Structure 1
Amino acid sequence: MTATLPTVLEEILGEIAATCGEASQVPDELLLALKFIFGPSAVQALDLVDRRSVTRISSPSGRTVYQVRGSSGKAYVCFASCHYCSCPAFAFSVLRKSDSLLCKHLLATYLSLAMGLCQDLSMSNEQLSGLLLAEEDQEQV
C-alpha cells in the first residue's frame, strides 16, 4: 500500500523536481507556495535541505528509510512511503492535533528527493534493523 500526498503538494514537488533538473534554484513562486501550505515549517525544512541533512538509507532487502538530522543535531527516521517521522512534532502536530500535514523533517525528505539532494548510505539488513530498533527504544523512553 502506498500512501499519497495531497495533490497540491505532489504538483509542487513535481515542479521543483523539473526546475531543479534545469537550474539549481527553486523559483520564488514555488517557495511561496510551500510557505503558504506549511507555514514556518517550510522555511525550517528548506534549511535542513540546504544543510544536506537528509540521508537515504537502503539495505540489500530493498528497504529504504530516510534519516534526517534535525536542527538540534538529533537524527529522526522518516518513512516516505507512509508519511511517518519519529520526531515529537510529528506525533503531536500531525497525528494528535491534525493541525499540520507534515513535520519539517518529512517535508525536508520530500524536498531533498525532488531536488536530488539526498545523501545515500547503504547498510546491511541487520544494521538497518538495529537502527530501527534503537529508534523504537528511544521513542518509548
Structure 2
Amino acid sequence: MEATLPAVAEELLREIKKAFQETSHVPDELLLALKFIFGSSAVAALDLVDQHSVSRVVSPSGRAVYQVLGSSGKVYTCYAACHFCTCPAFAFSVLRKNDSLLCKHLLAVYLSQAAGVCQELSVSDQHLASILLEEEEG
C-alpha cells in the first residue's frame, strides 16, 4: 500500500506535472503555491532539480530507488512510494518535529518526475542491494 501526501500537496504536484508537460515550464502561481506548502524546501528542491541531482536507480528485477546528490555533496537515498529520505533533515524535521511534509531531496524527486528530468541508472540487483545495505548500516 502506497503512502499518500496530504491531498493539497498531491494535487499541486499533479498540476506542476500537467503544466510542465503542456508548456515545458511551471507558472509562477504554481511556484508560489509550492513555496507556500513546502516552505524553504521548495527553493532548495528546485535548485537540486536544476542541477540534475536526482537519479532513479533501477535493477533488472524492476526494483528502484532514487538517489539525490545533496548540496553538501552527500548522496541520499529516497523511497518515493513511502515518502522517505535517508537525510538527517528528514529524520529531524519530518519524523521527529513533524513541522515539514518532506525534505528538499524527496521534493526534488517528485519535481524531477513531474518535469521528466530524472536521470535513470541501470544497476545489477546486487548493486541495488548494496545501496540499500549501505543505507541500513549508515
| TM-score normalised by L of structure 2 | 0.97
1:97 maps to 2:97: yes
Structure 1 position 136 matched with structure 2 position 131: no
Unpaired runs of 5+ in structure 1? Answer: none
| Residue 120 of structure 1: how far off its partner (Å) | 0.3
Match of 2:25 in 1: 25
- State the shift of 1:34 in Å: 0.6
Question: What residue identity is the alignment partner of 2:83?
Answer: H
What is the one-letter code of the residue matched to 2:102? L
2:75 & 2:24 partners in 1: Cα distance?
26
Which residue number in structure 1 is paired with residue 65 of structure 2?
65
**Deviation string, structure 1 residues 24-50 (Cα, Å, up to 9, x no partner):** 211000000010011111000000010
C-alpha distance in 2, partners of 1:112/1:41?
Answer: 14
SS for the counterpart of 1:81 is helix
1:75-114 to 2 correspondences below 5 Å: 75-114=75-114
Equivalent residue pairs, number: 138
RMSD: 0.8
Counterpart of 2:45?
45
Residue 16 (structure 1) aligns with: 16
Moved more, 7-16 or 73-82: 7-16
Distance 1:35 1:121 in 2: 30
What's the offset of the Cα at 1:51? Answer: 0.4
Residue deviations 1:50-91 (CA, integer Å, cap 9, x gap): 001000011111111000000011000000000100000000
| Gapped regions of structure 2 (runs ≥ 5) | none
**Residue of structure 1 equivalent to 2:125:** 125
Alpha-carbon separation, structure 2, partners of 1:34 and 1:21: 17
Return the offset for 1:16. Answer: 1.0
When the two structures are superposed, what TM-score results if normalisation uses the length of structure 1?
A: 0.95
Paired position in structure 1 for 2:36: 36
CA distance in structure 2 between the aligned counterparts of 1:82 and 1:31, rounded to whole angstroms: 24
Instruction: Specify the alignment match of 1:74 in structure 2.
Output: 74
Identity of aligned residues (%): 69
